[in-house]
Amino acid sequence: MKFKLIIFIIFNFLFTSGLYAQIQYSYPGTIFSSDSTLLLKNIKVINNRTKQTLYSGADGSFHIDANPNDSIMFVHPHWNTLTIEAYDLPELVFLQKKAIILEEIVVMGNTKAARFKEFHAMKHDYNVKGGLHYSGKPPWYLLSPFGGSPITFFYEKFSAAGKNARRFEKFMNQEIENMEVDQIFNKVSIYEIIPMENDELEKFMVEYRPDLETAQYWTTYDLHVYVKNSYKEFKEKNSQNHINLK
């Protein structure tokens, strides 16, 4: 009887240990330059075990799934590669820049980094006041009977505080996207390509403002091509409208 009990305990320990090793956690974070002044986008984030690969967003943020013992690697041609074990992964990741960074690397400057930190502080306040730990987006592993917390999951998912936190994060992400587009597509950058009167420039910007998905990988050359082609279409369209009004 004792022998069977010992076997059962050993089997149960090995089963739960193996299950824990297979649990995937979602690790969020934000990537900064080493001096904290720049939020870095398009940094490749790789789970070396699963080969899952993603890129940091316009605000430097990322979420990657990993086991605690997986190694996470941050890679970009113009920033030094960094590898960190998932269990030791901080929320703020800092990369050292290499000797030369080309003009085409699009990062958010001091003003945008400050704005992001302001949003981050507001998000933190939402979480503290609402008693939230996951900003209303609880990971599924909280439902696990092995070290999970179903009560926390359902509170984050369905409470008014959780819903408000998700609404705020959606607003925050939209504002960050708008800032990123404004950094690329603005009066100064357009005027340097094709000088226009202010009224015409504002109308052109409204009609041909690109979304972030289109503009985020643009180089200076890409912007020039887009503005010139769009302005040609803009003039033709307005010329046609003027003829139709006569």
Q: What is the CATH number of the domain that holds 81?
A: 2.60.40.1120
- What is the share, in percent, of the chain residues with pLDDT greater than 70? 81
Per residue in 208-244, pLDDT (tens digit) is: 999 888 888 888 888 999 999 999 999 988 776 555 5
**Residue 196, SS3?**
coil
Assigned domain for 69 exists: yes
Q: What is the distance between the alpha carbons of residues 234 and 167, in angstroms, rounded to a whole number? A: 36
Q: Which pair of tokens denotes residue 132?
A: 């939230």
Do 40 and 79 form a contact (C-beta atoms < 8 A)? yes
Nearest to 39 by CA among 107, 89, 100, 104: 107
Assigned domain for 10 exists: no
Q: What is the pLDDT of residue 11?
A: 43
Assigned domain for 63 exists: yes
Assigned domain for 78 exists: yes
Per residue in 37-58, pLDDT (tens digit) is: 678 888 999 999 999 999 998 7
Q: Which pair of tokens denotes residue 221?
A: 């050359």
Per residue in 123-160, pLDDT (tens digit) is: 888 788 888 888 888 888 888 877 788 898 899 889 98
Q: What is the pLDDT of residue 3?
A: 45
Q: If residue 72 lies in a helix (H) or strand (E), which one and from where to where?
A: strand 71-76
Do 146 and 170 form a contact (C-beta atoms < 8 A)? no
Amino acid at 106: V
Number of domains composing the chain: 1
Q: What is the distance between the alpha carbons of residues 113 and 171, in angstroms, rounded to a whole number? A: 17
Q: What is the pLDDT of residue 22?
A: 59
Assigned domain for 59 exists: yes
Domain that residue 87 falls in: 23-108
Output DSSP code: residue 209: P
Quote the distance between the C-alpha of residue 28 and its chain's center.
Answer: 9
Assigned domain for 210 exists: no
Assigned domain for 148 exists: no
Per residue in 5-22, pLDDT (tens digit) is: 444 444 454 444 444 445
Assigned domain for 33 exists: yes
pTM of the model: 0.47
Nearest to 129 by CA among 165, 153, 158, 154: 165
